[in-house]
Structure 1
Amino acid sequence: MSVQEYNIQKLRGIVYNCLDNEQLDSAQLNVEILCAQNPANLDSIHLHGLVLYRRGLYKSAYNLTANKMHMGCAYVFALCALKLEHPQEGIYVLQKILDTIREEGISEESMESNLGKNENQRSVLPDIPSFYNLLGKLYASMDDDVNTVVCYSKALELNPFLFEAFEQLSKLGAKIKIGKVYKPTSTFSMNPPAGSELFESIAPDTSVELKQPEDSKPKGRSLFGRSNIMGTPEFSKNKVKNLTTPKVRELKLPEAPTRKTRSSVTSDAFKPPPANTSSSFPRRSNRLSASKVTSRLLMQPISGLGTPSTYDNDNTTHMDSIKTNKDSWLKRSYNFSNMPPAPNNNSDFRNFNEVTSENELIVLYGRIARAYKAFCQYDCFKAIRLFTSLPEHVVDMPWVLAKLGRLHFEIVNYEQSEFYFQKLRQIDRTRVEDMEYYSTLLWHLHKESELSYLSHELYQIDKYAPQTWVTIGNLFSLNRDNEEAVRCFQKATQLDQNFAYAYTLQGHEHVANDSFENAFESFRYALSIDKRHYNALYGLGMVHLKLGDFTKAEFHFRKAIDINPVNVILTCCVGMVLEKLGKRELSLKQYDFACKLQPLSMLALFKKAQVLLALQQYDLALKDFEKLQKLAPDEASVHFLLGELYKQLGRKSDAIKQLTIALNLDPKGSHVVKESLEGIQTIDTIDEEMNDH
């Protein structure tokens, strides 16, 4: 290795170390020195772009990595395009790289993947699942749901642990076959090749899916020879013919502070490498091909790692050699049927443990995925059951506690929702995420002191978080200061223009101010951000209900129910509209269904009893009112209607008792109660006169 090549290797190690430790200013200086010594090298340009991106200099990174046929450069360019709101340019570059891969006849599944690498095996270059995940984000920013689903699905197929792809698919309402994505493999052991053969073949994957005839292997020109998008060095054809995958013991790593994570090889690497000898997980491990170690070590265009020190312009790289090595182990035939049922040496024990460990993770991820899918589908009772059935240490994770808090909030089980949110706050006191829902819960519970304390604490933690301003807005709303509440919600939307929930709350405040046009605008904007945001549909329905447009109100309420079919409030809203339309029998069915969804829902019971009273089904109404009396002993309207019911049944003393309680609970409605009491006295007078005659 020449002095210049050694310096380049050392500088790269320094930059990696700076990036790992968030020493971005030092990384900037060192990467500029690196690029000054090697200005045309695409790996160095990618590293420079990565540093600029991490520093938030998106425009600079965007310009630097533009028009570079290199996977790393294209990825950084697309990241910057997303930040700068130029999604089409990012999509074009990423698709161009993927198209080039396909033109070369190389399957995406056979490309090196970062899946399965541990903390000592990280790769600087993005893998194919990351490409598709970023493409999904770019398409999502353009509201292209079809391509968004396609890209996220592909990313999840290639890397099932890329859970953000699963989250986005679930939020879009895509149908995901979780059993196929998170499918555990059967554990088996394998006798690895003995001696140096194991390292020469770089521990080939022995999964059944990769056991294929030689002729079935994709053909084509070398991707890396023509466009060099992986940033690998170029060799002459003569040298490549004699180039084999270097044995691990022959590698001489410089003593520069190179990042250990860039290679899975250490100085005592003659111990069997834990990842590369693995027979783990047939469905995914085939993406960690035989080229894994070589492609990573030969990625940099320097000659000190067992490669020739001179390069020709013949447009042929080490990929030919890798394909040759891959052929050699693909041609081997492992007799899986004759494999021993249990591990029989240290390597086998490690392989067995790796497969077992990965299976446990896959099963866990599958269970979490099922629960999250039910959560996104608002199948609240199922989601609660699935989340609470997870292992105890998983249930106590902040992420799971937040979901449980929201689920109980959705089914109007406010007491249990508060329990989970309080537990979440005990575990992570500085958490800002999901506090917008907790603050709305406190608003519903009329807990002003708790909401005030939460607002103050969140402001101290992060006054630039939109959730903070939603919480403060809910506090003003609880105090009936609607104008200040609107300003706070507007502040939240300024901090995050895609915060649909803040627009919805803003719309509700406009409704409280009878500013219906502004309310329409807020709710519609929320829906433009999130088409499945049922809260905004509910808001639109309420505005139409207030304006007396009952048909449109019913339409929006039913659309909200299509998204969230188990929400009791939405079901009751449909019943209220049907009542307004004079369809009491149909409204009764809605209230009855709401009571089945949640037997202790006071709203559903009250509306049902009210309709039964209007339909003169007094016995059925009496049962529901007596239940309500126990559930809501301080609700004046319950006692008033129960008094009216007793009056109809001729139970005058009970009627007077209930009406008196209603009068004491709500003095403002005294005139209505007094009229009802006077009605009882009038009835008594009429009865006395009739008896006299």
Structure 2
Amino acid sequence: MAPNSATVATVLRQTIYYHIDNFCLDSALFFAERLNAHDRSSESAYLLALCHFRLGDSKTAFETSRSAGFRGVHLGCAFIFAQSCLDLERYKDGITALEKARGLWTAKCNIGKHSSTTRAAYPDAAAVSCLLGKLYRAYDDKKKAVLCFEEALKTNPLMWDAFAALCDMGVNVRIPSIFKHTDSFARNFDLEPGMTLTFESTPAIPEPLRKKVGIQAVSDESDPFEGNFSGNGMLFGDSVQSDSLSLSRLAASNARYNSNMSLRGGQDGMETPNGTGVAILDSQATRMGVAQEPPQAPTRRTRAAQAAVEPSIFDGPSKTGLRFGAARRRERAQEQPSDILDSSIKAPLPAPATTDRKRTASGHPVQPRPVNGEEPRRSARLNVPSRTTAASRATAAAATGLGSTAAREVKKARPPASRIGRPGSGGMGRVVSGNRKPIDDPNMEVDQAEAPRVKEPNVVQVPPPKPAGESEPVKIDEALKWILDLLKKMAQGYLLSSKFEGKEAMNSFLSLPRSQQDTPWVQARMGRALYEQANYVDAEKHFQRLRMIAPTRHEDMEVYSTILWHLRKETDLSFLAHELVEAQWDSPQAWCALGNAWSLACDHEQALKCFKRAIQLHPKFAYAYTLQGHEHTENEEFDKALTAYRQAIAADRRHYNAYYGIGKVFEKLGNYDKALYHYNAALMIHPAHAVLICCIGTVLQRQRNIGQALPFFKKAVELAPGAPEIRHKKARALMATGQLDEAMKELIILRNLAPDRAQVHFLLGRLCKMLDDSKGAVRHFTIALSLDPKASSQIKQEIEGLEGMMDESMLP
């Protein structure tokens, strides 16, 4: 018989999702091709495109999902098609596909629906809006990109990609308005009915109570429904129609269970709480999305039904626990009424009346309590062995405990009466101790007086299990508030660092818990914030910590290599570069680090090859273009340098380093107006960059506007007090404006910062010469000559002029 086509497709889909979840992508692709050949539908095309995209084959994913994706008739195909368009730089096609499918994803939110057992197969409004914003941003439509990212954050404030994109675009965002706790968003995390019903969540029954009272706990292994149920089809939100076969089997087993329990109930219609198996069956049906009425509780078994399965009552005790002789057993069997014995074996007894429901161990009805309060005679009860075997107790517990509750409330026994024997007891010998009065409880099948003489356990009243998820909303609200508060601090630091406000960003990151500070992302952001302040020494410490925490991380390593380049640590930079390249040769950050190492070694040709390789690996890597432009500038290849800088700006409009590079090229070419224009453009992006401010002052100084240049030098020194070059330019400007005392203070600080720089001592010598301090001038010129012998001609000219001054001062 040919299999059902829909069932085959369902099994194949579950197999594909299984392999995707377990990262067996090649197997997932293999079965996706089988499914697409068997069922030519949009769903099959989506799964095939998804497998190709997960494997990094964007071109094949584009072709596979284009038919249904570009028309917007299937959300999954449209989403994969748009993702492929983003990789292939076909931004307009991706935007068109998502806009056509807008009716399929608008006003949908899947946050909180993803767990270890449930998952949404298709993206929601936040995910699609974020992808649409990325496409608009790449398409250079900033206005629509901002709107899409805002919509994504309104739907899901935990969409960090959208927030980071807004910060990287330079948009002013209000963090308290984004990361705020709302009831509508918190309710997305509420667990659906049936999702929290697990065996671990139900209160465990004490071990002595299970053994003595007869409560049977159903475990995972013994549950027939749980063992045979497969949830693969529901992991990604498949419809109930795809599991029609499983549902039909589940319904059939449920009907058989109810019919069996109703047949066992006999004529006794007393209600009993549901058994564990029925509760588990209902929970499984609820998880599969089937709305059904709970099955009727199984009725209590009657005396007649128990008579056929309880040999301990009618057939005497088993041989394993026999405590009496064979003669006494035969004597007791002969004195029992034969009609009761035969009827109990051959056919079940009819349902007893309410007053005749209690019987002794031999089957005699218990005499009802007299109205006048007189005690019944104990001879009315037949004797039973004082102890029953463990097997008989287990059989009775299994027969009577089906569908019963964990414990049964037993009425308190009456005070014992005096022991009075009755003559003519039928020759049964001694009577079992019956000091307790019979309990007038219709729910008890066996008289308490006929129970074994073993000490009865204390009946423990097990409280009803607490409804699952009763306090979940409160816990979820607390967890969301904690997460949102944490995100506010991290978002504040990220926003400030994107605005290049390094000090404020550092304060935000330092307010995080210590455990969060010691994470790679936070350490990288703190290092970058200090790098943007030109505080290379402290920035290096954070990147060293980052390398200890995550030695395999390649992101932000190009910044770390630049820090080592500024600190002139050639050995550390070379070690970092070779370690990164060996670990991952196709990483653009690794090749940028290697290029910086060659640049520090003054081998610019090798550095250019490394930067070119980084660009080949990542064509949108703006910093690689900038480093390439710096090397062309060092080689005085200004046309190539300008091309590289412009390509960096095309990759990232807010990459201020490229504007700085263009300004430096025009400055060297003597075009100071264009240099000022590009320096100011870079300063608008990064208003607190000390080097940019110093460059503006330098250009103004070369234009003979020393008065206008001096404020820029002072501001640059305030922003970077430990930068020797900036203080050197400030000291020269002070000397040019005649502020010699302030210039002397700056040069003394500069000498302490860089005592091995010949330029510092040369400038101190000239300042001493201007102050008529010939001895100090000679000392500093001599130190400068020893530090830089190449500048001996210029230093000797200054010394000769100083000797002439000394000779003139000695004249009368």
Length-normalised TM-score, structure 2? 0.66
Aligned to 1:628: 750
149 and 185 in structure 1: CA distance in 2 versus 1, 3 angstrom threshold: closer
| 1:171 partnered with 2:205 | no
The alpha carbon displacement at 1:572 in A equals: 0.4
CA deviations 1:619-639 (Å, max 9, x no partner) are 111111111111111111111
Aligned to 2:326: none
Aligned to 1:579: 701
299 and 43 in structure 1: CA distance in 2 versus 1, 3 angstrom threshold: farther
Give the Cα separation in 2 of the matches to 1:305 and 1:127: 28
Aligned to 1:215: none
678 and 116 in structure 1: CA distance in 2 versus 1, 3 angstrom threshold: farther
Larger radius of gyration: 2
Aligned to 1:662: 784
Letter in 1 for 2:120: S
Aligned to 2:152: 155
Aligned to 1:594: 716
Q: Is the 8 A contact 1:411 1:566 kept in 2?
A: yes
74 and 617 in structure 1: CA distance in 2 versus 1, 3 angstrom threshold: same
Give the Cα separation in 2 of the matches to 1:509 and 1:185: 52
| 1:114 partnered with 2:111 | yes
Give the Cα separation in 2 of the matches to 1:448 and 1:252: 64
Query: Which of the numbers 177, 182, 187 marks the counterpart of 1:180?
Result: 177
Aligned to 2:415: none
297 and 420 in structure 1: CA distance in 2 versus 1, 3 angstrom threshold: same
Q: Number of matched residues? A: 567
Q: Is the 8 A contact 1:46 1:72 kept in 2?
A: yes
CA deviations 1:93-112 (Å, max 9, x no partner) are 110111466xxxxxx33x24
Q: Is the 8 A contact 1:473 1:486 kept in 2?
A: yes
SS of the aligned residue for 2:49 comes to helix
Aligned to 1:639: 761
549 and 145 in structure 1: CA distance in 2 versus 1, 3 angstrom threshold: same
Letter in 2 for 1:98: R
Q: Is the 8 A contact 1:537 1:557 kept in 2?
A: yes
Give the Cα separation in 1 of the matches to 2:711 and 2:671: 22
The alpha carbon displacement at 1:658 in A equals: 1.4
The alpha carbon displacement at 1:569 in A equals: 0.5
| 1:688 partnered with 2:810 | yes
Aligned to 1:61: 61
The alpha carbon displacement at 1:163 in A equals: 0.8
189 and 676 in structure 1: CA distance in 2 versus 1, 3 angstrom threshold: closer
Letter in 1 for 2:635: N
Aligned to 1:258: 232
Query: Which of the numbers 496, 499, 506 marks the counterpart of 2:618?
Result: 496
Name stretches of at least 5 consecutive residues in structure 1 with no aligned partner.
102-107, 204-248, 263-295, 310-321, 325-343
Give the Cα separation in 2 of the matches to 1:402 and 1:478: 23
Give the alignment of 1:260-659 within 5 angstroms: 261-262=235-236, 296-298=237-239, 301=242, 303-304=244-245, 347-659=469-781
90 and 115 in structure 1: CA distance in 2 versus 1, 3 angstrom threshold: farther
Q: Is the 8 A contact 1:5 1:303 kept in 2?
A: no
Give the Cα separation in 2 of the matches to 1:429 and 1:133: 31
Task: Quote the RMSD (CA, aligned, Å).
Answer: 3.1
Give the Cα separation in 2 of the matches to 1:160 and 1:381: 26
553 and 307 in structure 1: CA distance in 2 versus 1, 3 angstrom threshold: farther
Q: Is the 8 A contact 1:466 1:493 kept in 2?
A: yes
CA deviations 1:42-97 (Å, max 9, x no partner) are 33332222112223333333233223211111111212222333222221111011
The alpha carbon displacement at 1:131 in A equals: 0.9
368 and 57 in structure 1: CA distance in 2 versus 1, 3 angstrom threshold: same
Give the Cα separation in 2 of the matches to 1:186 and 1:391: 26
The alpha carbon displacement at 1:297 in A equals: 4.9
188 and 613 in structure 1: CA distance in 2 versus 1, 3 angstrom threshold: closer
Letter in 1 for 2:178: V
Task: Identify, as 1 or 2, the structure richer in helix.
Answer: 1
Give the Cα separation in 2 of the matches to 1:60 and 1:542: 45
Q: Is the 8 A contact 2:761 2:780 kept in 1?
A: yes
485 and 355 in structure 1: CA distance in 2 versus 1, 3 angstrom threshold: same
SS of the aligned residue for 1:303 comes to helix
Q: Is the 8 A contact 2:233 2:243 kept in 1?
A: no
Give the Cα separation in 1 of the matches to 2:24 and 2:724: 57
Give the Cα separation in 2 of the matches to 1:682 and 1:648: 14
The structure, 1 or 2, with the larger RCO (C-alpha pairs under 8 Å, 6+ apart) is: 1
SS of the aligned residue for 2:67 comes to coil
Give the Cα separation in 2 of the matches to 1:345 and 1:671: 93
537 and 602 in structure 1: CA distance in 2 versus 1, 3 angstrom threshold: same
CA deviations 1:503-557 (Å, max 9, x no partner) are 1111111111111111111111111111110000110111111011111111111
Give the Cα separation in 2 of the matches to 1:32 and 1:186: 44
SS of the aligned residue for 2:122 comes to coil
Aligned to 1:288: none
Letter in 2 for 1:11: L
Give the alignment of 1:135-146 within 5 angstroms: 135-146=132-143
The alpha carbon displacement at 1:346 in A equals: 6.5
Name stretches of at least 5 consecutive residues in structure 2 with no aligned partner.
198-222, 251-288, 292-465
Give the Cα separation in 1 of the matches to 2:524 and 2:185: 38
| 1:44 partnered with 2:44 | yes
Aligned to 2:78: 74
Give the Cα separation in 2 of the matches to 1:170 and 1:573: 27
Aligned to 2:19: 18
SS of the aligned residue for 2:101 comes to helix
Give the Cα separation in 1 of the matches to 2:776 and 2:245: 97
Give the Cα separation in 2 of the matches to 1:567 and 1:677: 38
Identity, % of aligned pairs? 36
The alpha carbon displacement at 1:579 in A equals: 0.3
Aligned to 1:35: 36
Give the Cα separation in 1 of the matches to 2:124 and 2:194: 24
Q: Is the 8 A contact 2:648 2:655 kept in 1?
A: yes
112 and 172 in structure 1: CA distance in 2 versus 1, 3 angstrom threshold: closer
